[in-house]
Amino acid sequence: MTLKLSPVMWSIRKCVAVASLAPACPLLKEFICVNAEDSSMQAISEAVVGWEKLQVLQVGHVDGRALMHAASSQMLQDLRFSASLDLGSLELDFCSPHARMMISAPSPSFFQTFIQNVHFSIQRLHLFCERYDGFFPEQLFLRLKACLVHPGELTHLALTVIISPGETSSESIMPNSHMLHPLLSFNRLTHLNLGDICTANIDDAFLDEMSMSCPDLQQLHLGDRMEWLVAPLLTLDGVAYLLEHCRRLSTLGIFFKATMTNIPQGNAVNLNITQLFVGSSPIDDPVNVTSMLSILFPNATRISHCIRRGSSQELRGRKDKWATVNKWLKSFASARKQSWEQGWLEGRAAGEKSAVDITE
């Protein structure tokens, strides 16, 4: 029912054995052989084509026949493979709506090219890229939107790109709001993970628009996984807009400038989030930020950052200030909660007194 193979150092004899697995194991449901060498691709592809009951398929490169077979399966729950331009003009229609799909590619621009002849009828998609080509492809999300048969049915989207240390200040890999705008068409998103992407160009207005377009968001990560040296446009005002519209949000990681011009309204309070991920967000006044965060996230007990010990002096300064926020956050939230409870008790007492006076 389940078969997991080591992906390296396959002999010719092993390749022949794997290629003939399907007739011997016709009821196989899970096949896992991730990152196999190119020399074993044909053997794996031959086996995949023979399996009709697969629910989990996690492989590396496979040929067009194997991908077409997997794409047409209605039983798949988990599909992972590596994109290849060797498929040429082959048209692929992935119609397993409930499957988790992960596609590996050398770079985002490579993936943008790969999906020209691909159509997806899926709900959950994770793109994993090994590096950048020195820039962020301008039409990546536009192409993704075009190849989704029903963009409004996508619920999970993640894009992971491995960043080299020298790229954390490169503006060429930072998508702007125009590049990200097609995301607003995915209006049923519950999970959006762009934590590895530099989202410094997202501003308060765009996040407000996103929150109104995707009100069902439960987990959101925007640029919080890397030590970005650039200054973000987004502020705490934008975060407040997000909380107003996305009432089910329970996990939030976001790269922003820790300033706020407007006092948060009551409908911006989020009681679900207990840990906020801030990445390498710049911060000037820890006490004021603690006060604002204790209003927005009264149940939060920790602020987590991604700044390492050996980082630059500027980043270490941010790290120290976020440590101060962590030190005071629980006390601020506790004091605010006591104030609210006291106000509620006083208000109830005043109401009861008024009721007695009216009766008398």
Within a domain: residue 13? no
Does residue 54 register a pLDDT over 60?
yes
Does residue 314 register a pLDDT over 70?
yes
- pLDDT band of residue 340 (cuts 50, 70, 90) is low
Instruction: Find the mean pLDDT for residues 281-308.
Output: 94
Are residues 35 and 112 part of one domain?
Answer: no
- pLDDT tens-digit profile of 182-231? 999 999 999 999 999 999 999 999 999 999 999 999 999 999 999 999 99
Better pLDDT: 358 or 107:
107
Most confident of 212-221, 289-298, 322-331: 212-221
Within a domain: residue 258? yes
Within a domain: residue 254? yes
Element at 337 (helix H, strand E): helix 313-359
Are residues 53 and 113 part of one domain?
Answer: no
* Tokens linked to 283: 């911060």
Within a domain: residue 210? yes
- pLDDT tens-digit profile of 75-85? 999 999 999 87
pLDDT value of position 182: 96
Are residues 224 and 247 part of one domain?
Answer: yes
Does residue 245 register a pLDDT over 80?
yes
Nearest CA to 106 out of 138, 137, 140, 131 is that of 131
Instruction: Find the mean pLDDT for residues 306-334.
Output: 91
Does residue 356 register a pLDDT over 50?
no
pLDDT value of position 360: 56
Beta bridge partners of 56: 30, 78
Within a domain: residue 250? yes
Give the span between the Cα atoms of 264 and 260, in whole angstroms.
9
Are residues 214 and 72 part of one domain?
Answer: no
Most confident of 33-37, 270-274, 331-335: 270-274
pLDDT value of position 35: 83
pLDDT value of position 247: 96
Within a domain: residue 294? yes
Are residues 226 and 335 part of one domain?
Answer: yes
Are residues 160 and 106 part of one domain?
Answer: yes
Does residue 66 register a pLDDT over 70?
yes
Are residues 193 and 259 part of one domain?
Answer: yes
Instruction: Find the mean pLDDT for residues 112-134.
Output: 94
Does residue 358 register a pLDDT over 80?
no
pLDDT value of position 127: 97
Q: What percent of the chain has pLDDT over 90?
A: 76
Within a domain: residue 317? yes
Are residues 130 and 42 part of one domain?
Answer: no
pLDDT value of position 342: 58
- Please say which residue of 82, 106, 127 terminates a domain: 82
pLDDT value of position 346: 47
- Considering its fold, how many domains does the chain have in total? 2
pLDDT value of position 39: 84
Does residue 355 register a pLDDT over 50?
no
Does residue 36 register a pLDDT over 60?
yes
pLDDT averaged over the chain? Answer: 90
Are residues 158 and 37 part of one domain?
Answer: no
Long-range contacts of 80-88 (CB under 8 A, 24+ apart): 80/34, 80/104, 81/57, 83/110, 83/111, 83/114, 84/114, 85/110, 85/113, 85/114, 87/63, 87/114
Better pLDDT: 314 or 336:
314
97 Cβ neighbours under 8 A, 6+ residues apart: 121, 122, 123, 153
Better pLDDT: 275 or 88:
275
Are residues 318 and 201 part of one domain?
Answer: yes
Give the span between the Cα atoms of 307 and 322, in whole angstroms.
10
CATH classification of the domain holding 257: 3.80.10
Are residues 43 and 143 part of one domain?
Answer: no
The whole domain housing 118 covers 90-165+173-359
